Structure 1
Amino acid sequence: MQKFKVQSFILILVSFLLGFSEFIIVGILDDVAASFAVDVSTAGYLVTIFALAYAISTPIVTTFIGQRRLLNVLLLLMGIFTIGNLVTALAPTYTILTISRVVVAIVSGSGISVIMAFGTYLAPLEKRAWLVAWIFSGFSIASVFGVPLGTLLSTQFGWRSAFYLITVLSFILLFFIKISLPGDLRQSTSDSNRISDQLAIFKDRRIQLSVFLTMFSLAGIYVVYTYLRPIFSTELNIAPSLITLAFTAYGFMSLLSNQLSGKIAEKRGLLTMPKVYIAEIFILGFLPLLLNIRWLGFLDLMLLGLTMYLINSPIQLHILGIAEKEFPQSMVLASSFNSIFSNIGIAIGSALGGQIGQNFGMQALGPGGAVLAAITLVLTLMLNRKNAKVSAERVEV
């Protein structure tokens, strides 16, 4: 049990660093824009580009893992991740910065897929929901501590210092990955290496609905979240010295969101989610009105943070359950679905947010996100209906 705790801690640390590197742009958006003399909306597209590279590359890389040792794959990915963040810190031009972010995105998506596979194989069945929730919570911990810390470093020492910190932490973590995780773990030897066999999982209607649900869920949030710093500073008029605290508060809410996600997965799972998305529609829809009253606007954003990751554990365990029973050759690929389609959602949400912000102003971001939350609600209801139909058919057989 002690060994499992250590291995779990390492997996969560990897998740934290991957999240730290991905989310830090949100906290330093103004500083990066000023450094390269671009406007904030243009800098915001770094989030979109990262997410697209992440989403497009992850299934390609994961399908080539095959029978390779997962530890060696993870060490290679984290080595490239370390170098990529160092290049970001040193980037002399906006173009090189963008390229380095693409490289980091490519290995980040595959990295989270591999640690999810580690978690699935290493965790006892009764601990699986707990570990999945905590691996996802690594991203929220990055929001709680990483993004505010990066914002503070950016304010005091320049935005590059945040990426130097990520580089040092990544290098140290490589050593602990090597000595803590099993070196002989692979995908099941009975699993097919053929890419076509792995991709067969996409034929399942439940998987199709699940990945679209994942995508639109985070898209609705990121219409607003991508531009959280300018919302804090210009719409709510929060003092620059308090911006870090505001991000910390939002990060704690997103951490709580991931923990509640695990609780939801252990109980009613996806059946609970329609109520969540109904609430989210109202939270986003009323945001323009509430931004006119600072404390109400801030409270509304905190509630948005609370809903941000509630889908993670229920949908991850749902997808892995289907893969484990019916598509075992696709376990690593299936482990990546949440990351892949969340990042497609991030790309959609951040790009849409940029367009809404440029054309209609920051106060219009909330209603834009509410439309995507409504689409997510419909997808959730469709998935729950499909799951009930499949269960009924199995009972009849």
Structure 2
Amino acid sequence: MPIGLIALALGGFGIGLTEFVIAGLLPEVAADFAVSEAAAGWLISGYALSVAVGAILLTAAVTRLPRKHVLVGLMVLFIIGNLVSALAQTYSVMLLGRIIAALCHGAFFGIGSVVAASLVPQSKKSGAIAIMFTGLTLANVLGVPFGTFIGQSFGWRATFWAITVIGVIALAGIVALVPRATDDTAHVSNLRGELRAFRSGQVWLSLVVTVLGFGGMFGAFTYIAFTLTEVSGFDSAAVPWLLVVFGAGLFVGNILGGKAADRRLDRTLIVLLSGLTVVMVLFALTAANPVATVVALVLMGGFGFGTVPGLQTRIMLYADTAPTLASSANIAAFNVGNALGAWIGGITISVGLGYTSPIWAGAAITAAAVVVMMVAATRRSVLAPASAGETEPTSAAPVVTTSH
């Protein structure tokens, strides 16, 4: 395994930690800045929207630049953003730090996946990309609970100081370990060619499914700390360990979902999205029961992140002639979904519907994703192809393990 993949995975770990750890620290941050739960939720939705903007605009702006240099610049931006968050004395400055850090997210994973693939022979490219995205998965399984524990034990700022250090280490790793030879492929990418992929109807349907599918799960996950403490009756100190349970579910779901999607892509996505909808309905109904809550967390993580490999694979298949911008666009779609879910969940709490209302809202959003996915699967053969990629996905399609 090329050692440069480790540096890319570490960068993915830091970025994933920045995105998700705030969910476990939301009560502490809200109390420190004296803002409402819904206002604190903008630290998540604002981040997600900024990821969406950065994924498209930054990737488009740097398509002709040497990719290693771009990755270095993106990690510097990431470090600055987390440093601002760690030092923030007001809510506005904290939000600014989140936005700065978020701008690098989509472009890093979109461009980093191309770099990762260039480090290995053709037969191992999808495996190399999966290794890079392992960092993002581990951020959920290990980093988020540990980061939440640090924040609750030493103050939430300590978590962002730790993430800043991780960013510095990842930056050094990319500088030292990612070979400049990958820059030789930079000239094959141009903005006009990348934009051509968006002529595909299936690309757009895939993006909508990503927005709704992930948005539904994030509608529930964004305010999960409030649900666990205010409805299920858990002590706030138990939240990090409950996130470990959630992370275990997503880790297993990510692996199994990827294997299933490799065999039957569209059918797998329909089944997983339908299962996620059912799980969230049951979670909302049984959230007052601690045992049922733990089971629901495992299943929500499993079904929710089980869709991620298939969603990322689908967008790359139908944009196979220009995967870089399309890949970044799908990461943007994940984060638009995150923002949508967090926004709607915040509204349901603000109007007094209670701390299970974001879960109900998430179930409704995910149900809409099921409908769109069924339409996409049905219309696949009748949509006018924009490229050779607009065909039935086969079992030989690469599965990319990722997230938003």
| TM value normalised by structure 1 | 0.91
Q: For residues 316 and 179 of structure 2, what CA distance do their matches in structure 1 show?
A: 21
CA contact (8 A) 1:211 1:338 kept: yes
Match of 2:331 among 334, 339, 348: 339
Alignment of 1:3-22 (within 5 A): 4=2, 6-22=3-19
Moved more, 342-351 or 94-103: 94-103
Counterpart residue number, 1:350? 342
CA contact (8 A) 2:216 2:363 kept: yes
Amino acid across the alignment from 2:329: F
Q: For residues 63 and 45 of structure 2, what CA distance do their matches in structure 1 show?
A: 29
Counterpart residue number, 2:211? 215
CA contact (8 A) 2:213 2:369 kept: yes
1:55 Cα deviation from its structure 2 partner = 0.4
CA contact (8 A) 2:272 2:304 kept: no
Q: Deviations over 1:207-249 (max 9, x none)?
A: 0111111111110001110011111111111123322211111
2:181 aligned counterpart, secondary structure: coil
Q: Report whether the alignment pairs 1:284 with 2:302.
A: no
Counterpart residue number, 1:257? 253
Q: For residues 259 and 143 of structure 2, what CA distance do their matches in structure 1 show?
A: 25
Q: For residues 239 and 186 of structure 1, what CA distance do their matches in structure 2 show?
A: 50
Counterpart residue number, 2:201? 205
Q: Deviations over 1:115-146 (max 9, x none)?
A: 12213333444434434444334222112221
Q: For residues 310 and 220 of structure 1, what CA distance do their matches in structure 2 show?
A: 14
Q: For residues 385 and 187 of structure 1, what CA distance do their matches in structure 2 show?
A: 40
1:264 Cα deviation from its structure 2 partner = 2.3
Match of 1:46 among 43, 46, 49: 43
Q: Report whether the alignment pairs 1:65 with 2:62.
A: yes
Match of 2:379 among 358, 372, 386: 386
CA contact (8 A) 1:270 1:315 kept: no
Q: Report whether the alignment pairs 1:154 with 2:151.
A: yes
Q: Deviations over 1:38-77 (max 9, x none)?
A: 1222101111111111102221110111221110000011
Counterpart residue number, 1:366? 359
Q: Structure 2 vs 1, CA of residues 155 and 208 (structure 1 numbering), >3 Å: closer, same or farther?
A: same
Q: Report whether the alignment pairs 1:108 with 2:105.
A: yes
Counterpart residue number, 2:166? 169
Counterpart residue number, 1:377? 370
Amino acid across the alignment from 1:260: L
Q: Structure 2 vs 1, CA of residues 306 and 90 (structure 1 numbering), >3 Å: closer, same or farther?
A: same
Q: Deviations over 1:340-387 (max 9, x none)?
A: 100000000000010112221112222211111111111212222233
Q: Structure 2 vs 1, CA of residues 8 and 153 (structure 1 numbering), >3 Å: closer, same or farther?
A: same
Counterpart residue number, 1:269? 265
Equivalenced residues, count = 387
Q: Report whether the alignment pairs 1:243 with 2:236.
A: no
2:306 aligned counterpart, secondary structure: coil
Q: For residues 170 and 293 of structure 2, what CA distance do their matches in structure 1 show?
A: 39
Amino acid across the alignment from 1:381: M
Q: For residues 123 and 69 of structure 1, what CA distance do their matches in structure 2 show?
A: 18
2:163 aligned counterpart, secondary structure: helix
CA contact (8 A) 1:84 1:100 kept: yes
CA contact (8 A) 2:215 2:337 kept: yes
Moved more, 108-117 or 118-127: 118-127
Q: For residues 323 and 363 of structure 1, what CA distance do their matches in structure 2 show?
A: 38
Moved more, 132-141 or 42-51: 132-141
Runs of 4+ in 1 over 6 A off after TM superposition: none
Q: For residues 15 and 189 of structure 2, what CA distance do their matches in structure 1 show?
A: 29
Q: For residues 27 and 311 of structure 2, what CA distance do their matches in structure 1 show?
A: 34
Match of 2:24 among 8, 24, 27: 27
| TM value normalised by structure 2 | 0.90
How high is the sequence identity, in percent, across the aligned residues?
Answer: 28
Q: For residues 290 and 127 of structure 1, what CA distance do their matches in structure 2 show?
A: 44
RMSD: 2.2
Q: Report whether the alignment pairs 1:302 with 2:298.
A: yes
Q: Structure 2 vs 1, CA of residues 136 and 260 (structure 1 numbering), >3 Å: closer, same or farther?
A: farther
